[in-house]
Amino acid sequence: MTIRQRLYFSNILMIVMPIVLTGIVLAGLFFIFSETFGSDFLNQWQENEIYAKEYEHIEELQEQFEADKITEAQLEKKISQLAENFPSEDISALLYDEDQTLLQREGTYQEDEIVRSMLENPEQYTLVVNKVLLNRFNVGRFRILLINQNYHMNLEEKILDSKHTILFVALITILCVILFVIMTNYILARFIFRPINEGLNALLSGVQQIRDGNLGWRTKYQSEDEFRPVVNSLNEMAERLETLVNEQEKNSENRKELIAGISHDLRTPLTAVKAYVEGLEKGVATTPAMRNKYLQTLTKKTDELTHLVDQLFLFSKIDLGDFALRIQTVNIGKYLAELIAGITDEYQERGLTILLGVHSFQTQVEIDPEQLRNVIINIVENTLKYGAPTDNQLVIEQYEQSEQVVITFSDNGPGVPEAQQEKLFDVFYRGDQARTQPGKGSGLGLAIARRVVESQAGTIEAQTSSSGGLQIRIHLPIAPKE
């Protein structure tokens, strides 16, 4: 249940609970009063109240007549209207003149000895006989008898006699109300505020763990409420932070390896350049042929340094995102056929046989043709350097798979152990065999290839070929059809 639903339910609960509890209290009070004063106490009290109101009404008529605000005719008319105000048949009004002649009767009570006794005693204004209450009013020459045939005596005395019981009931009522308020608050606190506190505590715990550097911590929160997406976002943030930190640590290690690789790969040609320059300075090369050999070696080592610096410069531009691509839509089958046809003879002479198999001639991809060519040439060069010592072959195939173009480069060389295949794309990483021959490569080619392919929305990976050699696989998305 969400917090919003809990709030709606609590609002309903705040209305319903007081009503229910008040009903329970009132039922209890009614039971107590019924046991103390009788089950008809309220009805008897109401009947006496009705008679009291009629008594007050006649008193008002008496005051108005004595103040000459109404005439005798108006008085008789108002008395005749008293019956309209009698909600009980037990109340009657009799109107007499000064000769005790009955002029008017309103109600059901008949003239009897009690009435005659009341009229004959001019000093008596109130008379109670059994349950009959009579009150006399002298209004000018008229005598008005107000009669209650069902008068309940001693109600006030009962209340006074039971005042301790009433005070006790009132105290219990107040205590019950206080208890109900406390119970309601407790229930609402457990029902509403506890889930809020749990959500806040979960968030606080997660934030503290992230603050303390424990990025692997994930906040556990099972309730399906408004805190759930916040906690999920916090976990996602922690996961992203962990990924960024791991990448930063990996990049830091790569930079260390990059510096070590640069130092290693620059040291060898620089040492050779220094040695040959010193040889020329000290006259070691005494003949023109030796000096020419020295100069050729210097040129070769300088070219190696230039190539390494160019590779470093290209890698740094790609790594910093300062690398502009010239994306074009090309027919990948035709592109590969033309590219491989242009280099096959050259590499055949250098000892590498290239075989091409194109299985989709109409597939369009969006690439930078020049940069993809550099990637392919780099893979071909690596095959030439690290492939089979004899009968070195490279089989290139292109086909479609799951809305992608797949280009595979499979050689028949010694291959690379599976544990090292992913590391081939790290900067300055070379297998043990390559590291023993540092002059063969810079260790940047495949790292640059990965960044170039990924910048064109593709992927590149290494695995073992069917012949036991190395296979490089490039995946590129197929261009959408117009």
Q: pLDDT of 226-241, one tens digit each?
A: 777 888 888 888 888 8
Chain-wide mean pLDDT for the chain? 79
E strand or H helix at 284, and its extent?
none
Q: What pLDDT digit, counting tens, does each position of 77-103 carry?
A: 877 776 566 556 778 888 888 888 888
Structure token pair of residue 448: 């640059």
pLDDT tier, 441 (very low <50, low <70, confident <90, very high otherwise): low
Say which range, 172-181, 411-420, 428-437, has the weakest mean pLDDT.
428-437
455: nearest Cα among 324, 314, 310: 324
Whether 477 and 404 have beta carbons less than 8 Å apart is answered as: yes
Q: How confident is the model at residue 458 (pLDDT cuts 50, 70, 90)?
A: very high
Measured CA to CA, the distance from residue 44 to residue 35 in angstroms comes to: 15
Give the Å distances, CA to CA, from 35 to 32, 39, 152: 5, 7, 18
Q: Could you give phi then psi for residue 396, rounded to 5 degrees?
A: -110, 125
The DSSP output letter for 228 is H
The model's confidence at residue 435, banded by pLDDT at 50, 70 and 90, is very low
Whole-angstrom Cα distance, residue 412 to residue 388? 6
How many Cβ atoms from other residues are within 10 Å of residue 84's Cβ? Answer: 8
pLDDT confidence of 395, banded at 50, 70, 90? very high
Paired tokens of 204:
């606080």
Q: So what's the pLDDT on residue 195?
A: 73
**Nearest-angstrom CA–CA distance, 268 and 284:** 21
Q: Domains for the chain: give ranges and CATH numbers.
A: 40-158 (3.30.450), 227-316 (1.10.287.130), 324-477 (3.30.565.10)
Q: Is the pLDDT of residue 160 over 70?
A: no
Q: Quick one: pLDDT at residue 348?
A: 93
pLDDT digit string (tens) for 33-77?
665 555 566 667 777 777 888 888 888 888 888 888 888 788 778
Does the predicted TM-score (pTM) go above 0.85? Answer: no
CA torsion sign for 419, 424, 426, 430 is positive
**How many other CB atoms are there within 10 angstroms of residue 17's CB atom?**
17
Residue 174 tokens, joined: 């107040």
Q: Which two tokens stand for residue 268?
A: 């060898």
For residue 40, the model assigns a pLDDT of: 63
Q: What is the number of helices (H) and of strands (E) in the chain?
A: 14, 12
The Cα–Cα gap between 234 and 219 comes to 8
> What percent of the chain clears pLDDT 90, i.e. is strictly above it?
15
